[in-house]
Amino acid sequence: MPSCVLAYSGGLDTSVILGWLIERGYEVHAVYVDLGQPCEDRQAILEKAKNVGAKSARIIDAQEELCRDLAFPVMQWQAKYEGVYLLGTSIARPLITKVCLQVAREVGAEAFAHGATGKGNDQCRFQLAADALQPSMAVIAPWRIEEFRRQFPGRSEMIEFCRQRNIPVKATASKPYSSDENCLHISYEAGRLEDLSVNGCELVEFGMTVSPQQAPDKPEQVTVAFESGVPTAVNGRRLSAAELVKELNRIGGRNAIGRIDMVENRFVGMKSRGVYEAPGMTLLYTAHRIVEQLTLDRDLTHLRDRLSPEVAEMVYYGFWYHAKMDALMAMIREAQKPVNGEAVLSLYKGNITVAGRSSPNSLYDEGIATMEGGGSYNQTDAEGFLRIQGLPSRVQARVWPRSF
Protein backbone atom coordinates (compact mmCIF):
# COMPACT_ATOMS: atom_id res chain seq x y z
CA MET A 1 0.00 0.00 0.00
CA PRO A 2 1.46 3.42 -0.96
CA SER A 3 1.94 5.81 1.93
CA CYS A 4 2.01 9.57 2.16
CA VAL A 5 2.24 12.33 4.71
CA LEU A 6 -0.57 14.86 4.59
CA ALA A 7 -0.15 18.42 5.84
CA TYR A 8 -3.37 18.36 7.83
CA SER A 9 -5.12 21.45 9.18
CA GLY A 10 -8.43 19.88 10.06
CA GLY A 11 -10.21 22.36 7.82
CA LEU A 12 -12.57 21.59 4.97
CA ASP A 13 -10.01 20.94 2.23
CA THR A 14 -7.61 18.70 4.13
CA SER A 15 -10.46 16.80 5.82
CA VAL A 16 -11.87 15.96 2.41
CA ILE A 17 -8.43 15.13 1.00
CA LEU A 18 -7.67 12.79 3.91
CA GLY A 19 -10.82 10.79 3.21
CA TRP A 20 -10.27 10.94 -0.55
CA LEU A 21 -6.70 9.61 -0.31
CA ILE A 22 -7.74 6.77 2.00
CA GLU A 23 -10.55 5.78 -0.37
CA ARG A 24 -7.94 5.57 -3.15
CA GLY A 25 -5.78 3.14 -1.24
CA TYR A 26 -3.24 5.39 0.45
CA GLU A 27 -1.92 4.84 3.93
CA VAL A 28 -2.06 8.42 5.19
CA HIS A 29 -0.05 9.92 8.05
CA ALA A 30 -1.73 13.16 9.09
CA VAL A 31 0.57 15.87 10.45
CA TYR A 32 -0.87 18.92 12.15
CA VAL A 33 1.93 21.45 12.46
CA ASP A 34 1.11 23.57 15.49
CA LEU A 35 1.93 27.14 14.55
CA GLY A 36 -0.08 28.71 17.34
CA GLN A 37 -3.40 28.69 15.50
CA PRO A 38 -5.49 30.79 17.90
CA CYS A 39 -8.96 29.47 17.10
CA GLU A 40 -8.49 25.71 16.74
CA ASP A 41 -9.08 22.74 19.05
CA ARG A 42 -5.97 20.67 18.50
CA GLN A 43 -7.12 17.49 20.18
CA ALA A 44 -10.44 17.55 18.31
CA ILE A 45 -8.51 17.91 15.03
CA LEU A 46 -6.27 14.99 15.96
CA GLU A 47 -9.23 12.80 16.87
CA LYS A 48 -10.99 13.76 13.64
CA ALA A 49 -8.01 12.59 11.58
CA LYS A 50 -7.99 9.26 13.40
CA ASN A 51 -11.75 8.84 13.03
CA VAL A 52 -11.58 9.52 9.30
CA GLY A 53 -9.03 6.71 9.03
CA ALA A 54 -5.51 8.12 9.12
CA LYS A 55 -2.80 5.52 9.71
CA SER A 56 -1.28 7.94 12.21
CA ALA A 57 -2.02 11.45 13.34
CA ARG A 58 0.29 13.70 15.25
CA ILE A 59 0.71 17.28 16.38
CA ILE A 60 4.16 18.85 16.06
CA ASP A 61 4.75 22.17 17.80
CA ALA A 62 6.80 24.51 15.60
CA GLN A 63 5.62 27.85 17.00
CA GLU A 64 8.97 28.97 18.34
CA GLU A 65 10.79 28.10 15.13
CA LEU A 66 8.15 29.90 13.07
CA CYS A 67 8.57 33.14 14.98
CA ARG A 68 12.30 33.00 15.75
CA ASP A 69 13.72 31.63 12.51
CA LEU A 70 11.24 32.76 9.87
CA ALA A 71 8.95 35.61 10.94
CA PHE A 72 11.54 37.70 12.79
CA PRO A 73 14.10 37.73 9.93
CA VAL A 74 11.33 38.70 7.48
CA MET A 75 10.29 41.46 9.88
CA GLN A 76 13.91 42.67 10.08
CA TRP A 77 13.74 43.12 6.33
CA GLN A 78 10.52 45.14 6.83
CA ALA A 79 9.22 42.90 4.05
CA LYS A 80 5.60 43.51 3.03
CA TYR A 81 4.22 42.02 -0.16
CA GLU A 82 3.01 44.81 -2.43
CA GLY A 83 3.63 47.21 0.42
CA VAL A 84 0.81 45.87 2.62
CA TYR A 85 0.69 42.14 3.36
CA LEU A 86 2.87 40.88 6.23
CA LEU A 87 3.18 37.40 4.70
CA GLY A 88 1.80 35.38 7.61
CA THR A 89 0.66 32.42 5.51
CA SER A 90 3.61 32.65 3.12
CA ILE A 91 6.13 32.44 5.97
CA ALA A 92 4.50 29.34 7.44
CA ARG A 93 4.41 27.11 4.35
CA PRO A 94 8.13 26.26 4.02
CA LEU A 95 8.22 25.32 7.71
CA ILE A 96 5.13 23.10 7.38
CA THR A 97 6.79 21.42 4.40
CA LYS A 98 10.02 20.81 6.32
CA VAL A 99 8.19 19.27 9.29
CA CYS A 100 6.10 17.02 7.02
CA LEU A 101 9.18 15.83 5.16
CA GLN A 102 10.85 15.02 8.48
CA VAL A 103 7.84 12.85 9.38
CA ALA A 104 7.86 11.26 5.93
CA ARG A 105 11.48 10.26 6.49
CA GLU A 106 10.59 8.78 9.88
CA VAL A 107 7.61 6.70 8.67
CA GLY A 108 9.07 5.82 5.28
CA ALA A 109 6.41 7.62 3.24
CA GLU A 110 7.14 8.14 -0.43
CA ALA A 111 4.80 11.09 -1.00
CA PHE A 112 3.88 14.42 0.55
CA ALA A 113 0.28 15.63 0.12
CA HIS A 114 -1.22 19.06 0.70
CA GLY A 115 -4.55 20.79 0.23
CA ALA A 116 -3.47 23.87 -1.69
CA THR A 117 -5.49 24.63 -4.79
CA GLY A 118 -4.13 24.78 -8.31
CA LYS A 119 -5.10 28.45 -8.52
CA GLY A 120 -3.27 29.74 -5.47
CA ASN A 121 0.12 30.57 -4.06
CA ASP A 122 0.36 27.84 -1.43
CA GLN A 123 0.86 25.08 -4.00
CA CYS A 124 3.97 26.96 -5.13
CA ARG A 125 5.27 27.36 -1.59
CA PHE A 126 4.78 23.68 -0.72
CA GLN A 127 6.18 22.42 -4.01
CA LEU A 128 9.21 24.70 -4.14
CA ALA A 129 10.10 23.95 -0.52
CA ALA A 130 9.79 20.20 -1.09
CA ASP A 131 11.87 20.40 -4.27
CA ALA A 132 14.61 22.27 -2.42
CA LEU A 133 14.67 19.99 0.64
CA GLN A 134 13.99 16.55 -0.85
CA PRO A 135 13.82 16.54 -4.64
CA SER A 136 13.10 12.80 -4.78
CA MET A 137 9.85 13.18 -2.80
CA ALA A 138 6.62 12.86 -4.81
CA VAL A 139 4.15 15.68 -4.16
CA ILE A 140 0.41 14.94 -4.30
CA ALA A 141 -1.71 18.02 -4.92
CA PRO A 142 -5.30 16.75 -5.34
CA TRP A 143 -6.58 20.09 -6.61
CA ARG A 144 -4.29 19.64 -9.61
CA ILE A 145 -5.79 16.19 -10.31
CA GLU A 146 -8.74 16.26 -12.73
CA GLU A 147 -10.50 13.33 -11.06
CA PHE A 148 -10.56 15.20 -7.73
CA ARG A 149 -11.87 18.39 -9.33
CA ARG A 150 -14.65 16.50 -11.11
CA GLN A 151 -15.79 15.05 -7.79
CA PHE A 152 -15.48 18.40 -6.00
CA PRO A 153 -16.28 21.22 -8.44
CA GLY A 154 -17.12 23.53 -5.52
CA ARG A 155 -17.07 23.87 -1.78
CA SER A 156 -20.69 22.75 -1.45
CA GLU A 157 -19.74 19.29 -2.76
CA MET A 158 -16.90 19.13 -0.26
CA ILE A 159 -19.23 20.08 2.59
CA GLU A 160 -21.65 17.36 1.47
CA PHE A 161 -18.79 14.82 1.33
CA CYS A 162 -17.98 15.60 4.95
CA ARG A 163 -21.63 15.52 5.99
CA GLN A 164 -22.12 12.05 4.53
CA ARG A 165 -19.08 10.76 6.41
CA ASN A 166 -19.79 12.63 9.65
CA ILE A 167 -16.62 14.69 9.32
CA PRO A 168 -17.13 17.96 11.27
CA VAL A 169 -15.87 21.13 9.54
CA LYS A 170 -16.26 24.85 10.26
CA ALA A 171 -17.22 25.88 6.71
CA THR A 172 -20.89 25.85 5.79
CA ALA A 173 -22.76 26.36 2.55
CA SER A 174 -24.07 29.70 3.85
CA LYS A 175 -20.64 31.00 4.91
CA PRO A 176 -18.06 29.25 2.76
CA TYR A 177 -15.13 31.65 3.01
CA SER A 178 -11.81 29.99 3.74
CA SER A 179 -9.42 30.92 6.53
CA ASP A 180 -5.84 30.08 7.39
CA GLU A 181 -4.48 30.86 10.81
CA ASN A 182 -1.31 30.75 12.86
CA CYS A 183 0.15 32.87 15.63
CA LEU A 184 1.31 35.45 13.07
CA HIS A 185 -2.04 36.18 11.49
CA ILE A 186 -5.36 34.91 10.17
CA SER A 187 -6.28 35.20 6.50
CA TYR A 188 -9.77 35.09 5.00
CA GLU A 189 -10.65 34.54 1.35
CA ALA A 190 -13.14 32.93 -1.07
CA GLY A 191 -16.93 32.79 -0.77
CA ARG A 192 -18.59 36.19 -0.58
CA LEU A 193 -15.18 37.85 -0.24
CA GLU A 194 -14.73 37.29 -3.97
CA ASP A 195 -17.32 40.05 -4.49
CA LEU A 196 -15.31 43.27 -4.28
CA SER A 197 -18.43 45.31 -3.45
CA VAL A 198 -18.71 43.48 -0.11
CA ASN A 199 -17.11 45.12 2.93
CA GLY A 200 -14.70 42.40 4.00
CA CYS A 201 -14.10 43.75 7.49
CA GLU A 202 -17.83 43.69 8.17
CA LEU A 203 -18.37 40.22 6.68
CA VAL A 204 -15.51 38.36 8.38
CA GLU A 205 -15.75 37.06 11.93
CA PHE A 206 -12.25 38.04 13.06
CA GLY A 207 -10.47 35.77 15.49
CA MET A 208 -7.64 37.97 16.77
CA THR A 209 -8.87 41.57 16.72
CA VAL A 210 -11.85 43.67 17.74
CA SER A 211 -13.18 46.40 15.48
CA PRO A 212 -12.10 49.99 16.09
CA GLN A 213 -15.62 50.72 17.33
CA GLN A 214 -15.26 48.01 20.01
CA ALA A 215 -11.75 49.03 21.07
CA PRO A 216 -11.19 50.96 24.34
CA ASP A 217 -11.90 54.69 24.41
CA LYS A 218 -8.46 55.53 25.78
CA PRO A 219 -4.97 54.83 24.39
CA GLU A 220 -2.84 51.94 25.64
CA GLN A 221 0.95 52.08 25.65
CA VAL A 222 3.22 49.13 24.91
CA THR A 223 7.03 48.99 25.01
CA VAL A 224 8.93 46.57 22.76
CA ALA A 225 12.66 45.90 23.26
CA PHE A 226 15.10 44.68 20.60
CA GLU A 227 18.56 43.14 20.70
CA SER A 228 20.38 43.01 17.36
CA GLY A 229 17.05 43.52 15.65
CA VAL A 230 15.41 40.60 17.47
CA PRO A 231 12.41 41.44 19.68
CA THR A 232 13.11 40.19 23.20
CA ALA A 233 10.72 41.84 25.66
CA VAL A 234 7.29 43.42 25.97
CA ASN A 235 6.69 45.99 28.71
CA GLY A 236 9.95 44.98 30.37
CA ARG A 237 9.17 41.25 30.46
CA ARG A 238 11.50 38.96 28.49
CA LEU A 239 9.61 36.38 26.47
CA SER A 240 10.34 33.58 24.03
CA ALA A 241 9.74 34.42 20.39
CA ALA A 242 6.33 32.72 20.22
CA GLU A 243 5.14 34.06 23.56
CA LEU A 244 6.23 37.57 22.58
CA VAL A 245 4.18 37.43 19.39
CA LYS A 246 1.16 36.09 21.29
CA GLU A 247 1.42 38.81 23.95
CA LEU A 248 1.52 41.48 21.25
CA ASN A 249 -1.43 39.77 19.56
CA ARG A 250 -3.42 40.18 22.77
CA ILE A 251 -2.41 43.81 23.22
CA GLY A 252 -2.82 44.75 19.56
CA GLY A 253 -5.97 42.70 19.14
CA ARG A 254 -7.90 44.46 21.88
CA ASN A 255 -6.91 47.80 20.32
CA ALA A 256 -8.05 46.88 16.78
CA ILE A 257 -4.52 46.84 15.34
CA GLY A 258 -3.57 45.04 12.14
CA ARG A 259 -6.60 44.50 9.89
CA ILE A 260 -6.21 44.88 6.12
CA ASP A 261 -8.38 44.21 3.07
CA MET A 262 -6.44 44.04 -0.20
CA VAL A 263 -6.49 42.83 -3.79
CA GLU A 264 -3.12 41.23 -4.47
CA ASN A 265 -1.27 39.71 -7.41
CA ARG A 266 -0.83 35.98 -6.95
CA PHE A 267 2.31 34.22 -8.19
CA VAL A 268 0.23 32.25 -10.71
CA GLY A 269 -0.82 35.50 -12.37
CA MET A 270 -4.35 36.34 -11.24
CA LYS A 271 -5.53 38.97 -8.81
CA SER A 272 -7.26 37.84 -5.64
CA ARG A 273 -8.90 39.49 -2.67
CA GLY A 274 -7.77 38.73 0.87
CA VAL A 275 -8.68 40.02 4.30
CA TYR A 276 -5.98 39.67 6.95
CA GLU A 277 -5.42 40.41 10.61
CA ALA A 278 -1.95 40.46 12.17
CA PRO A 279 -2.01 42.55 15.37
CA GLY A 280 1.25 41.39 16.93
CA MET A 281 3.34 41.47 13.78
CA THR A 282 1.96 44.89 12.87
CA LEU A 283 3.21 46.19 16.22
CA LEU A 284 6.59 44.51 15.72
CA TYR A 285 7.10 45.99 12.26
CA THR A 286 6.31 49.45 13.60
CA ALA A 287 8.43 49.17 16.76
CA HIS A 288 11.35 47.69 14.82
CA ARG A 289 11.33 50.52 12.29
CA ILE A 290 11.35 53.06 15.12
CA VAL A 291 14.44 51.55 16.77
CA GLU A 292 16.13 51.26 13.37
CA GLN A 293 15.58 54.96 12.78
CA LEU A 294 17.89 55.60 15.73
CA THR A 295 20.52 52.97 15.07
CA LEU A 296 20.95 52.19 11.36
CA ASP A 297 23.17 54.17 9.01
CA ARG A 298 21.31 56.05 6.27
CA ASP A 299 22.84 54.24 3.30
CA LEU A 300 22.42 50.82 4.90
CA THR A 301 18.78 51.58 5.69
CA HIS A 302 18.11 52.70 2.14
CA LEU A 303 19.81 49.63 0.69
CA ARG A 304 17.70 47.39 2.94
CA ASP A 305 14.57 49.24 1.88
CA ARG A 306 15.40 48.78 -1.80
CA LEU A 307 15.89 45.05 -1.29
CA SER A 308 12.88 44.62 1.00
CA PRO A 309 10.33 44.18 -1.84
CA GLU A 310 12.61 41.51 -3.33
CA VAL A 311 12.57 39.58 -0.05
CA ALA A 312 8.80 39.96 0.26
CA GLU A 313 8.35 38.66 -3.27
CA MET A 314 10.58 35.63 -2.66
CA VAL A 315 8.72 34.74 0.54
CA TYR A 316 5.34 35.24 -1.12
CA TYR A 317 6.30 33.09 -4.12
CA GLY A 318 7.79 30.31 -1.99
CA PHE A 319 11.55 30.64 -2.55
CA TRP A 320 12.52 30.34 1.11
CA TYR A 321 15.07 27.55 0.62
CA HIS A 322 17.02 29.33 -2.11
CA ALA A 323 20.61 30.47 -2.52
CA LYS A 324 19.56 34.10 -2.96
CA MET A 325 17.49 33.98 0.22
CA ASP A 326 20.41 32.45 2.13
CA ALA A 327 22.62 35.35 1.07
CA LEU A 328 19.99 37.97 1.89
CA MET A 329 19.43 36.48 5.34
CA ALA A 330 23.17 36.55 6.01
CA MET A 331 23.17 40.21 5.06
CA ILE A 332 20.29 41.16 7.37
CA ARG A 333 21.90 39.39 10.33
CA GLU A 334 24.98 41.57 9.89
CA ALA A 335 22.94 44.73 9.27
CA GLN A 336 20.84 44.26 12.41
CA LYS A 337 23.72 44.10 14.91
CA PRO A 338 23.36 47.72 16.10
CA VAL A 339 19.55 47.59 16.32
CA ASN A 340 19.29 47.61 20.10
CA GLY A 341 16.78 49.62 22.07
CA GLU A 342 13.13 50.17 22.91
CA ALA A 343 10.13 51.65 21.15
CA VAL A 344 7.10 52.87 23.09
CA LEU A 345 3.90 52.75 21.05
CA SER A 346 0.54 54.32 21.84
CA LEU A 347 -2.41 52.31 20.50
CA TYR A 348 -5.87 53.74 19.96
CA LYS A 349 -8.71 52.24 17.92
CA GLY A 350 -6.53 50.77 15.19
CA ASN A 351 -3.96 53.57 15.15
CA ILE A 352 -0.32 53.42 16.26
CA THR A 353 1.67 56.49 17.28
CA VAL A 354 5.16 56.83 18.73
CA ALA A 355 5.18 57.62 22.44
CA GLY A 356 8.94 57.27 22.95
CA ARG A 357 12.15 55.60 21.77
CA SER A 358 15.64 54.95 23.10
CA SER A 359 18.81 53.06 22.21
CA PRO A 360 22.34 52.69 23.60
CA ASN A 361 23.48 52.72 19.96
CA SER A 362 21.53 55.80 18.94
CA LEU A 363 23.11 57.78 16.09
CA TYR A 364 20.86 60.73 16.86
CA ASP A 365 22.92 63.64 18.19
CA GLU A 366 20.76 66.48 19.44
CA GLY A 367 23.76 68.82 19.44
CA ILE A 368 24.21 68.26 15.71
CA ALA A 369 20.54 68.09 14.74
CA THR A 370 19.31 71.10 16.72
CA MET A 371 17.94 74.07 14.81
CA GLU A 372 19.23 76.31 17.58
CA GLY A 373 22.62 77.98 17.44
CA GLY A 374 25.82 76.28 18.57
CA GLY A 375 26.59 72.59 18.43
CA SER A 376 29.30 70.82 16.48
CA TYR A 377 27.73 71.28 13.04
CA ASN A 378 29.14 74.28 11.17
CA GLN A 379 26.55 75.45 8.67
CA THR A 380 29.24 77.19 6.63
CA ASP A 381 30.50 73.70 5.66
CA ALA A 382 27.28 73.20 3.70
CA GLU A 383 28.42 75.80 1.16
CA GLY A 384 31.25 73.59 -0.14
CA PHE A 385 29.10 70.46 0.14
CA LEU A 386 26.45 71.94 -2.12
CA ARG A 387 28.98 73.35 -4.59
CA ILE A 388 30.33 69.83 -5.11
CA GLN A 389 26.87 68.26 -5.26
CA GLY A 390 25.67 70.83 -7.75
CA LEU A 391 28.69 70.59 -10.08
CA PRO A 392 27.17 68.09 -12.55
CA SER A 393 23.96 70.13 -12.78
CA ARG A 394 25.85 73.36 -13.50
CA VAL A 395 27.93 71.71 -16.24
CA GLN A 396 24.86 70.12 -17.84
CA ALA A 397 22.91 73.38 -17.64
CA ARG A 398 25.59 75.17 -19.64
CA VAL A 399 25.69 72.46 -22.32
CA TRP A 400 21.96 71.70 -22.45
CA PRO A 401 19.94 74.60 -20.97
CA ARG A 402 16.49 73.73 -19.61
CA SER A 403 13.56 75.89 -20.58
CA PHE A 404 11.56 77.34 -17.71
Cα–Cα distance, 27 to 32 (Å, whole number): 16
Spot the catalytic one: 9, 15, 90, 178.
178
Supply the angle between the helices 12-23 and 42-52 in degrees, to the nearest 10.
20
Task: Lay out the sheet containing 27-34: strands in order across.
Answer: 56-61, 27-34, 3-7, 111-113, 138-140
305 is catalytic: no
Query: How many angstroms separate the CA atoms of 253 and 350, rounded?
Result: 9
Give the H or E element holding residue 28: strand 27-34
The single-letter code of the amino acid at 278 is: A
Q: How far is CA 265 from the centre of its chain?
A: 16
CB 226 within 8 A of CB 220: no
* Residue 362 falls in the annotated catalytic set: no
Set 9, 15, 90, 122: catalytic member = 122
- Dump the DSSP string for 99-124: HHHHHHHHHT-SEEE----TTSSHHH
The overall longest dimension of the chain from CA atoms, in Å, is 83
Asked about 306 being catalytic, the answer comes back as no
φ/ψ of 268, rounded to 5, equals -75, -5
DSSP, collapsed to helix, strand or coil, labels residue 199 as: coil
Q: Which of 9, 90, 93, 261 is catalytic?
A: 93
The rounded distance, in Å, linking the Cα atoms of 31 and 54 is 10
Q: In the annotation, is 41 catalytic?
A: no
Q: Measured on CA atoms in the order 136, 137, 142, 143, is the torsion positive or negative?
A: negative
> Which of 180, 185, 181 shows the shortest CA–CA distance to 86?
185
Q: How many CA atoms are closer than 13 Å to the CA of 66, on its beta-carbon side?
A: 32
Residues in the chain, total: 404
Instruction: List, by residue number, the catalytic residues.
Output: 13, 93, 122, 178
